[in-house]
Chain A
Amino acid sequence: MAIVYSSLVYLGYILIFPGFLFCFVAGMLITGIDRKIVAKMQKRVGPPILQPMYDFFKLMGKETIIPAAANKTVFLAAPIVGLAAMVVIQLFIPVISTPILYGTADLIVILYLLLIPALAEIYGGSASGSPYAGVGLSREMVTIIACELPLVLIFLSVAKTVGNAMGTGLCFSLSDIAAYQAANGSLMLKASMIPAAIAMLLVIPGETGNHPFDAAEAETEICEGMLAEYSGAPLGIYKLTHAIKTFTLTALFVALFLGGIGTGIVLLDALIEFAICVVLTIIFISLVHAVTARLKIEQLFKYYWTAVSAIALISLVLAWFGM
């Protein structure tokens, strides 16, 4: 009996709470708020908050055209794998300070899991065989490389700081980080962590491919880049993955740097976390979206590998010398 119960709870975790349903709603709301705020900043009225939901369900009803030159199986399977991996990442991230799936993955696994949704889009685009997709995926790959260095430095510095405090000198597992923060205050307050937090906030728009860094999906230049040949349900799933990614990355930031403010009750924590994520998106994604122009791909790369990496490196060096 216990097995059945625990597997039901396990299934509940996956499909309902921090899993698919919660991500769907949270992701859609955050993207809706993001679009509304960007519109407001341009003195426009902007779409209703539930606009991403309408977009998603409209796309569900549309016809899915598969180009003759496309490789059908990869073309249709890629979005599903991308979305599944995205939700899996969301499961591994502790809700502020209570880890949901204990002991399955750690920081490095998260770093590599973040690649899968981007890879799903890349292989979807390349399977469609369109030259726009080719250019799009080349830019997407360069964006991934660009965002990798700062993320690596941030994760290493977080691991080192928590490791120092925990005595083992190194701690990658997310649940220990969450436990540490629950015990003695969120990491954001430590001196060595502030540059890492700033770097992480600068990386989020790049990682999710939002406006100033969306050379990969530039609808004006290369007709939506990798998604040029997608229509109907697969396109809807890609848009959903993009929405959930915004939520997941901000949730990751909250889990890594603001762990201390958890109250212990999981549902309440989830609301607090969602609120913080909305605030972070407004400041670091919408404001940046409304204010900047799209960067060329090599400017994006140079920006990430020099400016943001330098900030992250400061925190790594500080963490290294035991601050």
Chain B
Amino acid sequence: MTNLLSYTHFPVYSIMVLFLGAFLVVIAGKSKALRHIFAICAVTASLACLIALIKPVMIDGEVIAYWMGAREPAGGYAIGIALEVDALSLFFGLLIATAVFVSCCYSITYMRFDENVSQYYTLFLMLSGGVIGLVLSGDLFNMFIMVEILTFAAVALTAFRNKAHGALEAAFKYLVVGCIGSTCILAGTIMLYAQARTLNFAQLSAFIPGNFNTSTIIAFALLYIGFSTKAFIVPFHPLAADAHGAAPASISVLISGVLTKSGIYGIIRLTYFLFQSMALGKMQFLLVFIGSVSMFVCVTMALAQHDFKRLLAFHSISQIGYVLTACGLCTALGISAGLYHAMNHTLFKGLLFLAAGAVLQQTGTTDLNKLGGLSKRMPHTTVLFLIGAFSISGIPPFNGFASKWMVYQATYQKAVESGNIGFLFATIIALITSVLTLASFVKVSQSVFFGQLPEEYKDVKEVPFGMRFAMGIFAVLCIVTGLFRELVTHYLTEPAARAVFDVGKYINSMLGDGYASAVMGANAPVRTEVVFDMAGTWQPIHWLLLLCILLLAITLVALLGRYDTVSENKAALAEGKFDIFFGGEESVPSQVGGGDLFWGFKHNWRHYFSFMHDLHSGIVNDYALWAIVALALAMLYMLIVL
């Protein structure tokens, strides 16, 4: 404890800096500049601490156990509260810190029109502190506390602009079902405590696999449901759709990029560490089934949306479906693909939400039927949006494709190894969902950025540089992680996958070596080697080289026709030479976008769409009912399976 700057203290620094920042922002009070400085400094400091941890944890593979108040475990029994940083939690921590950093830069210029912004920054920093705390904490009840912090902060931030359409309603629904989730987590934690008399993660994961009895199984179901409310998986996805619809864009980035990841982190910790039950076929089936259903349902719901941000919200849940399907496979390739997709998801989903925020700020509406042709007035935002749209729909050079490609390999390899045809359907659903994602983003780009510019948006100006800079960071990250697939998998996702499969080391580093084998004896977690060979080959760099050479060749061919015969002499404008061809009519502004796209697909599935539309009734009680029914089903399933 003497050397305060050694890297073992960095986990605590990254959390405390954020809470300190939240406090200082309130003190800063009136002066805007001071407030911004505090916010930015807190966020950068936390990111710096986590980056500094990459060397020891990721590369050397060390697991940092940090006991609060230096209360070492006495006699193999953990007394104090511990922070545990292994490759998995650092991976998520880094992800969250980057998203928080970019969102903070964005919200500096984005929130310049709102009043009482200091409360906004306090909640913002509380939320980010809570999430990083959740990811790094090694104590179950500490996790519950952090979950509570981020739920309150998220609800308050959703209702921040309470005059926005439906903001209050979204916040209320989020709060009600969020609290049901938190209550379940609390009940689950306590039932585990009743059995193991300890709250420390490592000790619990050493104790539980030995003695499964009804109360630990019910605790598992409760914790699973609690964390999936936080991750907005299928039974709870309308919450996310409402919350994103109304929340300011920088907060939607946090909710969709960060909170869902914390939910996924919780589920991975729960199933792979606490209960180590993923080896069971039935458990993998549960996660993959829930993942595929949420993938398909949310993408079809997104196709039917008329609001830009609600559409993005549904997409973020369908991408979380991908992550869950991949992580539920319990194979090395699966976990690595799932984590890689989780990272990519935060990046491109953040970019898309920031673009939506930019459109909302400049035009005042995100209704797809009213917007159109913004690319002429906001060129930079359009380019950034296109990068995000291409990467989410998985177009080769971008990062979405790299991770989706690994997800397909993982699911199909699992299907082949286990011979169970269920995983094959997961692959097919995943591929079809990817095309439907592409379809809905073509719909968005046609109805918002291309097509004809309506009258009232004639004088829309480009967003200030601050927002574009933030979007730029995400865009660059999207491209870089897409191109250098091997680097990312080697340095980030594989160490995390190794950590997931090496529970023994996790326990021993917390409670001293040999503890795991001593306590668990027979079923001590054996360390499975993380090695996977790809069934296919994909080098993005070669591909890009090819594309560039060919682009050069084809521009030569185009120049053959001398594109310079492009006659834009506006003189002939009067004759209507440059008007849009309307069958000869005067070119009346007529924007084809929003609701009237993809009639063919919607017509064939009209019964499905009308059924789903009625299912999402928007009444709080229905959502609460789904939550409780899901809880009951989960308990029943767990009791049968485990």
A and B, direct touch (CB closer than 8 Å): yes
Q: Are B565 and A63 in contact, CB atoms less than 8 angstroms apart?
A: yes
Q: Are A142 and B561 in contact, CB atoms less than 8 angstroms apart?
A: no
B164 contacts the other chain (Cβ, under 8 Å)?
Answer: no
Q: Are A223 and B604 in contact, CB atoms less than 8 angstroms apart?
A: no
B513 contacts the other chain (Cβ, under 8 Å)?
Answer: no
Q: Are A320 and B424 in contact, CB atoms less than 8 angstroms apart?
A: yes
- Rounded to whole angstroms, the CA-CA distance of A60 and B565 in the bound complex is 10
- Rounded to whole angstroms, the CA-CA distance of A271 and B542 in the bound complex is 27
Which residue of A68, A79, A320 is within 8 Å of B573 (Cβ)? A68
- Rounded to whole angstroms, the CA-CA distance of A130 and B424 in the bound complex is 42
Residue of A nearest to B568 (CB): A66
A323 contacts the other chain (Cβ, under 8 Å)?
Answer: no
Q: Are B451 and A173 in contact, CB atoms less than 8 angstroms apart?
A: no
- Rounded to whole angstroms, the CA-CA distance of A173 and B562 in the bound complex is 40
Interface centre among A109, A112, A132, A320 (most CB of B within 10 A): A112
Residue of B nearest to A136 (CB): B592
A11 contacts the other chain (Cβ, under 8 Å)?
Answer: yes
Which residue of A81, A116, A122, A168 is within 8 Å of B442 (Cβ)? A122
B537 contacts the other chain (Cβ, under 8 Å)?
Answer: yes
Interface centre among B555, B578, B583, B592 (most CB of A within 10 A): B592
Q: Are A160 and B416 in contact, CB atoms less than 8 angstroms apart?
A: yes
Question: Which stretch, A37-45, A184-192, A245-253, A298-306, touches the partner chain B?
Answer: A298-306
A148 contacts the other chain (Cβ, under 8 Å)?
Answer: yes
Q: Which residues of B contact A301 (CB under 8 A)?
A: 600-601, 604
Contact indicator per residue, chain A 152-181, by CB within 8 Å of chain B (1) or not (0): 110010011001000011111100000000
Q: Which residues of A contact B431 (CB under 8 A)?
A: 111, 148, 152
Question: Which stretch, A25-33, A69-77, A195-203, A262-270, touches the partner chain B?
Answer: A69-77
Q: Which residues of B contact A172 (CB under 8 A)?
A: 409, 535-536
Q: Are A112 and B401 in contact, CB atoms less than 8 angstroms apart?
A: yes
Known contacts A84-B547, A163-B416; decide if A76 and B579 are in contact (CB<8 Å): no
Residue of B nearest to A300 (CB): B600
Q: Are B432 and A142 in contact, CB atoms less than 8 angstroms apart?
A: no
- Rounded to whole angstroms, the CA-CA distance of A150 and B223 in the bound complex is 40
Q: Which residues of A contact B484 (CB under 8 A)?
A: none
Which residue of B405, B593, B601 is within 8 Å of A142 (Cβ)? B601
Residue of A nearest to B405 (CB): A108
Known contacts A131-B592, A149-B432; decide if A65 and B416 are in contact (CB<8 Å): no
Q: Are A145 and B396 in contact, CB atoms less than 8 angstroms apart?
A: no
Contact indicator per residue, chain B 572-609, by CB within 8 Å of chain A (1) or not (0): 01000111111100010011110011111101100000
Known contacts A112-B395, A134-B592; decide if A63 and B554 are in contact (CB<8 Å): no
Question: Which stretch, A46-54, A228-236, A284-292, touches the partner chain B?
Answer: A228-236
Residue of A nearest to B549 (CB): A14
- Rounded to whole angstroms, the CA-CA distance of A91 and B542 in the bound complex is 12
Known contacts A83-B554, A123-B445, A236-B561; decide if A173 and B601 are in contact (CB<8 Å): no
B558 contacts the other chain (Cβ, under 8 Å)?
Answer: yes
A113 contacts the other chain (Cβ, under 8 Å)?
Answer: yes
Q: How far is the CB of A237 from chain B (nearest CB, A)?
A: 6
Question: Which stretch, A98-106, A204-212, A273-281, touches the partner chain B?
Answer: A98-106
Q: Which residues of A contact B547 (CB under 8 A)?
A: 84-85, 88
- Rounded to whole angstroms, the CA-CA distance of A323 and B537 in the bound complex is 26
Q: Which residues of A contact B563 (CB under 8 A)?
A: 64, 76, 233
Contact indicator per residue, chain B 412-451, by CB within 8 Å of chain A (1) or not (0): 1100110001001001100110011011001101100011
Q: Which residues of B contact A149 (CB under 8 A)?
A: 428, 432
Q: Which residues of A contact B560 (CB under 8 A)?
A: 60, 233
Residue of A nearest to B555 (CB): A80
Q: 14 interchain pairs (CB within 8 A)?
A: A68-B570, A69-B580, A71-B382, A76-B563, A91-B546, A109-B536, A134-B446, A137-B442, A156-B428, A173-B535, A232-B561, A237-B557, A296-B600, A298-B600
Q: A144-B439, A163-B416, A301-B601 are in contact. List 13 more A-B contacts (CB 8 A).
A: A14-B550, A66-B566, A69-B373, A71-B375, A80-B558, A88-B547, A105-B543, A109-B543, A119-B438, A134-B597, A142-B439, A169-B416, A223-B583
**Which 5 A-B pairs have CB atoms at the shortest separation, nearest pair first?**
A134-B592, A106-B536, A172-B536, A233-B561, A60-B561
